[in-house]
Amino acid sequence: DIQMTQSPSSLSASVGDRVTITCRASQGISNYLAWYQQKPGKVPKLLIYAASTLQSGVPSRFSGSGSGTDFTLTISSLQPEDVATYYCQKFNRDLGVTFGPGTKVDI
């Protein structure tokens, strides 16, 4: 079974900082990767799918990259409303669906 890990598990940054979250798959998953944002007490929100495609309506300060086993979510300029937990997720007919453990982002 393919495992997903995320690092760091939590981070604290200042408004305006560039923030990078890493997601790693134990085996190659091509670009079958999505990123979600979950604010406290709220429902998960899709930010990026297919590793780098920005979901409609998501601010352009969010970006995704990677392929194979290593992926990153970058927030180019952290804003107060970005305080949330961020999850990566792999998906594929043959690879199943698994979420990463999450990265908590604070200001």
Partner 1 sequence: EVQLVESGGAVVRPGGSLRLSCAASGITFDEHGMSWVRQAPGKGLEWVSGIDWNGGTIGYADSVKGRFTISRDNAKNSLYLQMNSLRAEDTAFYYCARAVTSAMRDAYDIWGQGTMVTVSS
Residues that bind partner 1 (CB under 8 A): 34, 36, 38, 43-46, 49-50, 55, 87, 89, 91-93, 95-102
Beta pairing, strands 19-25 & 4-7: antiparallel
Closest CB 25 distance from partner 1, rounded Å: 15
| Burial (CB count within 10 angstroms: exposed 0-12, middle 13-18, buried 19+), residue 63 | middle
Q: Which residue has the tokens 């998906």?
A: 91
Closest CB 100 distance from partner 1, rounded Å: 8
Alpha-carbon span 100 to 88, nearest angstrom: 5
Q: Which is nearer to partner 1, 13 or 58 (CB)?
A: 58
Closest CB 15 distance from partner 1, rounded Å: 26
Q: Which is nearer to partner 1, 15 or 50 (CB)?
A: 50
